[in-house]
């Protein structure tokens, strides 16, 4: 932006007024660069509730109606994961900038279609890989980017989750085979590591899965462990389990990362065990408030924490950084649509390898995904 020029004000459409749509809307409503907010939500009562909480000037049950409004210059797509495609394409047709909750789509062919539409239209679209905005990962990115580890040769990540997210996802679908811990939740750890290993091109994926807890009751997968080989021989070893008992004190995500290079090593503890709460008063923070815990890791809810009536943490920083990106032209560490499609492809490839019980060459095609 030229010196002295006033920042642009944006008209924001929020498509999907669930938990994340509300959080994004409340943050945006406090940003002076947001001059207008509209909400679209299929559940009319919920839409009206969220519209009132964010001070929206317009509310509808039809996202098409919202996106046709002349005030709209940017949109947050925060519907359920399997409902992203149509609102994204409608917003792209309008040419508005986008912040899309991951993923672009749940099927690889649909993701490719969405990515092509975004690129053909020249739309600035970023995807909500919120963990990039945790400061420990930003510090790690800077150290690796500036060569403090030399050439990265090995990365590892271990993600643990209690089973609340898995149970919620399996309850909301009649196609459990389309849902996996790697695609829905492991993708966050995978994105962080691939972002830290920028410049490495994956060429092969190998994985195994297990289904002893969620398989018999929901037809689902408990955990997946895999290995991704890069073009230069560097390795990324990863695992994700979202079948830990509901009493596991991490409200959602517990992550450890290690990065080894030719000149150094960097380890990141994002397990949140540095702040532990034990109380006789049941705790209801996190992904599923109706489930209570008496021991908790209070900082393990990925969007951040509510304090003094506001959310503080990576989702706040991510949302405000996106608004600055649009209004001031600031560069930001958001995941691009192309990166989001790549992450979906990699998680699908790991699931495919686990089903086939053999390595798969990368990248995979939408046709390969269905085998």
What pLDDT is stored for residue 6 in this prediction? 53
Closest among 303, 275, 188, 286 to 238, alpha carbons compared: 188
Structure tokens at 72: 């709209």
Cβ of 95: how many Cβ atoms within 10 Å? 11
Query: Do 39 and 20 contact (CB within 8 A), yes or no?
Result: no
Structure tokens at 342: 């790549």
What pLDDT is stored for residue 297 in this prediction? 87
Q: Alpha-carbon distance 123 to 297, whole Å?
A: 39
Query: Do 93 and 71 contact (CB within 8 A), yes or no?
Result: no
Q: Which residue ranges of the chain lie beneath pLDDT 70?
A: 1-8, 251, 284-292, 370-371
Query: Do 95 and 123 contact (CB within 8 A), yes or no?
Result: yes
How many CA atoms lie less than 13 Å away from 27 in the CB half-sphere?
A: 25
Q: What is the pLDDT of residues 1-45, one digit of tens each?
A: 444 445 568 999 999 999 999 999 999 999 999 999 999 999 999
What pLDDT is stored for residue 285 in this prediction? 61
What pLDDT is stored for residue 2 in this prediction? 45
Q: Strands 10-15 and 74-77: what pairing?
A: parallel
Q: Do domains 10-131+326-336 and 134-302+344-353 have the same CATH topology?
A: no
Write down how long the chain is.
371
Q: Alpha-carbon distance 293 to 281, whole Å?
A: 9
Helices (H) and strands (E) in the chain, counts: 13, 18
pTM of the entire predicted model: 0.93
135: helix, strand or coil: helix
Largest CA distance in the chain: 63
Q: Which residue has the tokens 């990065």?
A: 259
List alpha helices for the chain, DSSP H: 19-29, 44-54, 63-67, 85-94, 108-121, 135-145, 164-171, 181, 187-196, 214-218, 314-328, 337-356, 366-369
Q: Which residue has the tokens 């230069």?
A: 232
Q: Alpha-carbon distance 78 to 50, whole Å?
A: 13
Pick the CATH number of 134-302+344-353 from 3.90.70.10, 3.40.50.300, 3.30.360.10, 3.40.50.10680: 3.30.360.10
**Residue 58: φ, ψ to 5°:** -150, 140
Q: What is the pLDDT of residues 331-353, one digit of tens each?
A: 999 999 999 999 999 999 999 99
Distances (CA, A) of 54 to 70, 247, 255, 289: 20, 33, 32, 21
Q: Alpha-carbon distance 49 to 170, whole Å?
A: 26
CATH of domain 10-131+326-336: 3.40.50.720
Domain spans, the chain = 10-131+326-336, 134-302+344-353
What pLDDT is stored for residue 287 in this prediction? 56
């Amino acid at each position: 932006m030229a010196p002295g020029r006033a920042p642009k004000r944006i008209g924001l459409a929020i498509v999907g007024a669930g938990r994340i749509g509300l959080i994004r809307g409340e943050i945006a409503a406090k940003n002076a660069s947001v001059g207008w907010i509209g909400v679209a939500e299929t559940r009319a009562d919920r839409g009206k509730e969220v519209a009132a909480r964010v001070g929206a000037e317009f509310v509808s049950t039809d996202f098409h109606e919202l996106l046709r409004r002349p005030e709209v210059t940017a949109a947050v797509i925060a519907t359920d994961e399997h409902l992203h495609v149509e609102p994204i394409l409608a917003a792209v047709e309008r040419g508005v900038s986008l912040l899309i909750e991951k993923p672009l789509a749940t099927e690889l062919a649909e993701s490719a279609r969405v990515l092509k539409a975004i690129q053909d239209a020249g739309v600035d679209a970023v995807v909500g890989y919120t963990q990039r905005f945790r400061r420990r990962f930003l510090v790690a990115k800077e150290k690796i980017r500036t060569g403090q580890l030399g050439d990265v040769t090995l990365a590892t990540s271990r993600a643990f989750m209690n089973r609340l997210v898995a149970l919620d996802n399996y309850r909301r679908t009649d196609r459990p085979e389309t849902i996996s811990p790697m695609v829905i939740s492991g993708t966050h750890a995978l994105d962080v590591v691939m972002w830290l290993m920028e410049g490495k091109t994956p060429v092969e994926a190998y994985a195994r899965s297990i289904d002893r807890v969620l398989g018999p009751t929901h037809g689902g997968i408990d955990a997946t462990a895999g290995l991704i080989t890069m073009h230069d021989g560097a390795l990324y070893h990863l695992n994700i389990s979202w079948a830990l008992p509901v009493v596991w004190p991490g409200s959602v995500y517990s992550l450890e990362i290690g990065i080894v290079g030719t000149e150094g090593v960097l380890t990141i503890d994002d397990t949140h065990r540095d702040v532990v709460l034990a109380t006789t008063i049941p705790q209801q923070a996190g992904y599923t408030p109706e489930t209570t815990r008496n021991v908790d890791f209070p900082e393990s809810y990925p969007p951040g924490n509510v304090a003094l009536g506001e959310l503080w943490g990576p989702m706040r920083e991510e949302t405000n950084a996106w608004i600055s990106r649009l209004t001031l032209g600031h560069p930001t560490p958001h995941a691009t649509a192309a990166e989001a499609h790549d992450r979906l492809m990699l998680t699908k490839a790991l699931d495919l390898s686990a089903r086939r019980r053999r390595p798969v060459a990368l990248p995979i095609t939408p046709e390969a995904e269905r085998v």
